[in-house]
Each structure stands twice: as structure tokens, then as C-alpha cells.
Structure 1
Amino acid sequence: MVDEGLDREGDRWVAENVKRLREQRSWSQSELARRMVAAGATNYNQMTVSRTEKGERTVSVGELLILAKVLETFVIDLLQSPPANDIVELSYAVQNKIQSIKEGMEELYELQLTLALKADSYPFGKTLPPFERVIEGLVTTTPDEIVEDVKADRAEKIEIDRLRDDKRLKREDPIAELEHEKGPFVTAMMEVYGVLDPEAS
């Protein structure tokens, strides 16, 4: 037998998620209803969407499948609690950013190689030695060095923040502000970015 409390809570989660995803797309309730009908839902109108988002009706499995398709998400995302969905969405965002950085690193390597090849064929002679050194620095900069530079810049900002007397300005690094309430994930991130001494954790 299904716990009625859990069933009602599940309806509420579906309601909140449908409304959240619809509003993210700037769709009216009527627009969502129109798209649901176009995707195969029957007897679906603005009032159906309104009652769904208020948690006044239970959504069938078939309807969930169509909603997931129309809202371009997964059925599980409609059934999860909103806080869990926030974590899922943030996880996707971080994954996408990591992938973007990886692609950027590949593009950087290709640009560096192109620059190196063109520079090797250019007769610099003794006229532009400073520029040669600049090019050498550019083509020899590795992703690891970039990461270390980012960590060093962040550590410097945190140190400057600690030296400031005006508490209103002590908001340079959002991670540092969490030091008094850090959990395992924040602790791991603080260690990687040099905000926290691993031996002190």
C-alpha cells in the first residue's frame, strides 16, 4: 500500500518542478498545454496545467513521459524534490563548464602550435628580441600553469581580504566565507583551491 503522505508529497514535487521548468522557458500555462497536445496528450488545456502546478491532480505515468519530453528533461527530474533538482542542475552546469574548459584547452594547444609554427618561420633576427620572449612564454604556457595562476590569484585575494579592517569588504571569496560551516565537499574544494591548509582540516 502506498503511503498517502508520500503520494501527496510526490504530487507536490511534480507540481513545483513542472512550474519551475515552464517558467524557465518563459511559457504561459496555455503554451505548455498547447505543446502537450501537440506531443500526444489528450484533453489537456490551461486549466489542466494550472491544477497540475497547484498539486490538485495526480499526474499519470503516461502524462509524466509526455511532460518530460515537452520540457526536455527526464522523468526522474520531475519526481525529485526541488532541492535535489537544484543539485542535479548545478552538477550539469559544473560538468558543462568542465567540458567547456577542456575544449578550451584543446583550442589553446592548437592556437599555440599555429603560433609556434608561424613564429619559427618569421625572421625575427635581432630586431624584436622582447617580442620573441613574449611568444616563447605564450607557446610554452601549459594548462597546469594556468590552474596554478588561478589558485595563486585566488589566494592573494583572500589574503588581501584578511588584511582589510572594513568587514563590509570581506566578501572577496565565497568559499572563504563558508569556512565556519564547511562540510566534506566545501572542505575538498577549499583544499584544492588553496583556501584551506589540508593539515589543518
Structure 2
Amino acid sequence: MTANDNPDPLDGPAVTDARFAINMQRERERAGLSQADLVRNLREGNWQTVHQTTVSRIEKGERPVRLGEAMSIARALRVDLRHLLLEPDDAKVMASLDSAVKGLDGSYVAIVNRTDVWHSLRDSVENLLTTARASGHAEDEYPLPQAVSALRRTPSDAIAEGREQYEHEKQSEA
């Protein structure tokens, strides 16, 4: 007996279509799109013959989705097609994970960009401090001590300080 001899009635095309419909609607709503907005996005993505009734019927489970249509819908919703085929609870977790990863990536890029600014400002402070010293300003004259102190700090220090703040806030919430 092979796996194909007794197909699982809970995993046929109708079940897959129902999962797709539930996940499609959830992702559309999560993106803040109306059905008309999704149709507009689909038409911009070269599915010219799509109508709002088509989207509505797919979401209600009244019309199965074709593979090419499913791919276009996933692209228009900016989600991985595989997420639209998962069990709805699993799809919800994966969508949340995807969103969290995008947020984390965005934070990382922001840190990289701010680090670039930090290095530029650090070079400027270093050059101006050298100029001030060469002009005979005393080491205790404002703002030389602050400049020396600022030059000792690094982006790694800022990350460590941010981590400490995060841990403190996390403990306060518990």
C-alpha cells in the first residue's frame, strides 16, 4: 500500500484552497488593503482581467485560485506564496515572524547608518580637539574635557547601554 492509496480527505485541493482564502484575506487586511486596493495592485502586476468580484469569490471560498493567480496575489500582498498555503494559525505565526524580522533588519540598518554618522562626527571632534590643543587651549577648558570623554565612547558602548536599558525595562514590566 502506498501513500496514494488512501488520500487524506483533510488535505485535498479544497482544503488547500480554503487555507489560501483565509490567509489571503488575513494578509490583505493586515496590509490595510481593501479588495479594490488589492485588485489595483494585481492589475499593476499584470493581471489585467482581475475584478473585485474575483477577489471576493476567492476569499469566500466560492472560487478556487489558479496557481498563476496565487503567485500574483502573493506578490501583490508582498508575502511568500508558501505562507498563503499554511494552516491559518501557522500562517499567522509566520506572518508575525516575518514582520518582526523586517523590523529587526530595519533597526540594524538604522544602527549601521547612525554608526556612519557617528564616525564622521567623531573624526570632526578629533580634528577640532587637535586644533584647539594646537591653539593653546587648556585641557580643562570647556568643551575640551567633554570632547575627550566623547572620544572614549564607541558604538559598542551605546549598544551595551541600550541592552542594559532594555533589560531594566523588561524586569520592570515583570
TM range (shorter): 0.7 to 0.9
Deviation at 1:141, TM superposition (A): 0.8
Query: What is the match of residue 161 of structure 2?
Result: 149
Counterpart residue number, 1:17: 23
Residue 90 (structure 1) shift? 1.1
Match status 1:134 vs 2:146: yes
Q: Where do 4+ consecutive residues of structure 1 move more than 4 Å?
A: 154-159
| 1:107 to 1:93, Cα distance in 2 relative to 1, 3 A | same
RMSD: 2.8
User: Shift of the alpha carbon at 1:72?
Assistant: 2.9
Aligned-residue identity in percent: 20
1: distance between equivalents of 2:71 and 2:167?
A: 48
Q: Give the letter for the 2:63 counterpart.
A: R
Matched, 1:115 2:120: no
Between the aligned partners of 1:35 and 1:151, the Cα distance in structure 2 is 40
Which stretches in structure 2 are left out of the alignment for 5+ residues?
Answer: none
Q: Is the 8 A contact 1:11 1:59 kept in 2?
A: yes
Shift of 1:156: 4.9
Deviations along 1:49-85, one digit per CA (max 9) or x if unpaired, are 1122233332211002211232233322333422222
- State how far apart, in whole Å, the 2-side matches of 1:15 and 1:45 are: 16
Q: Residues 13 and 113 of structure 1: is their aligned pair in 2 closer, same or farther, counting only changes over 3 Å?
A: farther
When normalised by structure 2's length, the TM-score is 0.73
Higher relative contact order (CA closer than 8 Å, sequence separation 6+): 2
Decide which of 4, 11, 16 is 1:6's aligned counterpart: 11
State which of 33, 36, 50 in structure 1 corresponds to 2:39.
33
Cα distance in 2 between the residues matched to 1:155 and 1:33: 45
CA gap 1:82/1:125 in 2 versus in 1, 3 angstroms: same
- 2-side partners of 1:50 and 1:12: how far apart? 13
Distance 1:60 1:92, change over 3 A: same
Distance of 1:117 and 1:36 partners within structure 2: 55
Matched, 1:47 2:53: yes
The 1:125/1:64 distance shift into structure 2, 3 A limit, reads same
The aligned runs of 1:74-113 (5 Å cut-off) are 74-80=80-86, 81-113=91-123
For structure 1, list consecutive stretches of 5 or more residues without a partner in the other structure.
162-170, 172-176, 178-201
**CA, structure 1 residues 148+48, in 2 after alignment: closer, same or farther (shift >3 Å)?**
same
